[in-house]
Amino acid sequence: MIQAIGLTSTPCKELPPAVDDVSFEAHSGRVTALLGTSGAGKTTVLRLMLELQKGRGITYFRGRPLHRVAHPNREVGVLLGEVPGHPARTVRSHLRMLCAAAGLPVRRADEVLEVVGLVSLREARLSTLSRGMDRRLGLACALLSDPHALVLDEPAHGLSAREGRWLHGIMRAHATQGGTVLFTTGDPKEAARIADRVLTLEQGRLVADQDVADFSRTRLRPRVAVRTPHAARLGALLTKEARTARRSVEIVQEGGNRLSVYGSTCAEVGETAFRHGILVHQLADEIGDMGPTAVAVAATVRETAAATPTPSRPGEGEPGEAESGGSVEESQGVGDDSEAATNARRLSHADSSPPSTPPVSHRSPVSHANLADSADPADLIDRSSPANHTDHINTTDASQHLDPQSPHLARLPRPVKTGALPPLPPPITVRPASNPLRPVLYELRRATGVATGYVTAVVVIVVSAVMAGVLARMGHTPQPRLLAAWPRELPLPPAAVGAGLLGAISFGDEFRYPALAVDHGPVPRRLGLLAAKLLVSAATGLLLALITVGCDLEVLYLLHGPELTSVPGDWLPLGASWLGLVVGCAWAGVLAAGVFRSTSAGLAAVVAVPLLVVPLVQKVLEGPAVRHAIGFPMRLRELVLTQWPFGGERYVEAAARVIVQPEGGALLLSLTALLGAYLLTTVRSRAR
For residue range 431-469, list pLDDT tens digits in order. 655 677 888 998 999 899 889 999 999 999 999 999 998
pLDDT digits (tens, 9 = 90+) for 374-425: 333 333 333 333 333 333 333 333 333 333 333 333 323 333 334 467 788 8
Query: Which domains are present in the chain?
Result: 2-218 (3.40.50.300), 220-410 (no CATH), 438-687 (no CATH)
- The model's confidence at residue 685, banded by pLDDT at 50, 70 and 90, is low
Beta pairing class for 55-61 and 2-9:
antiparallel
pLDDT at 534 over 90: yes
Give the pLDDT mean for 174-180.
Answer: 93
- The stretch 71-75 carries a mean pLDDT of 84
Residue 51 has pLDDT above 60, yes or no: yes
Polymer length in residues for the chain: 688
- Three-state DSSP string of 300-346: CCCCCCCCCCCCCCCCCCCCCHHHHCCCCCCCCCCCCCHHHHHHHHH
pLDDT at 302: 33
At 125 the pLDDT is 93
More confident residue, 216 or 76: 76
* pLDDT for the residue 221: 77
User: Which residues on adjacent β-strands are paired with residue 200?
Assistant: 35, 208
Tell me the average pLDDT across 63-75.
85
**Environment class of 537 (CB within 10 Å of its CB; exposed 0-12, middle 13-18, buried 19+):** buried
What is the percent of the chain with per-residue pLDDT over 70, rounded to a whole number? 70
For the chain, percent of residues with pLDDT exceeding 90: 31
- pLDDT category at 342 given cuts 50, 70, 90 is very low
Residue 291 has pLDDT above 90, yes or no: no
Burial class (CB in 10 A: 0-12, 13-18, 19+), 86: buried
pLDDT at residue 16, rounded to an integer: 85
Residue 146 is which amino acid?
D
DSSP 30: S
Average pLDDT, the chain: 75
Q: Per-residue pLDDT tens for 611-670?
A: 888 777 677 766 554 445 555 555 555 555 555 555 555 555 555 555 556 666 678 878
390-428 burial: b if 16+ Cβ within 10 Å, else e: bbbbbbeebeebbeeeeeeeeebbebbebeebbebbeeb
Q: Which residues touch 313 (CB under 8 Å, ≥6 apart)?
A: none
d(CA 289, CA 262): 11
pLDDT at 13: 76
More confident residue, 632 or 365: 632
Check the CA dihedral 664-669-675-677 and report its sign: negative
Higher pLDDT, 436 or 490: 490
Burial class (CB in 10 A: 0-12, 13-18, 19+), 192: buried
What average pLDDT does the segment 52-56 reach?
86
- The band of 285, judged by pLDDT with boundaries at 50, 70 and 90, is confident
Look at 104 and 292; give whichever has higher pLDDT: 104
Note whether 152 and 121 are within 8 A (CB). Answer: no
pLDDT, residue 638, reads 59
Q: N- to C-terminal Cα distance for the chain? A: 24
pTM: 0.68
Identify the pLDDT of residue 566. Answer: 78
Residues 6+ positions from 652 with CB-CB distance below 8 Å: 632, 633, 636, 644
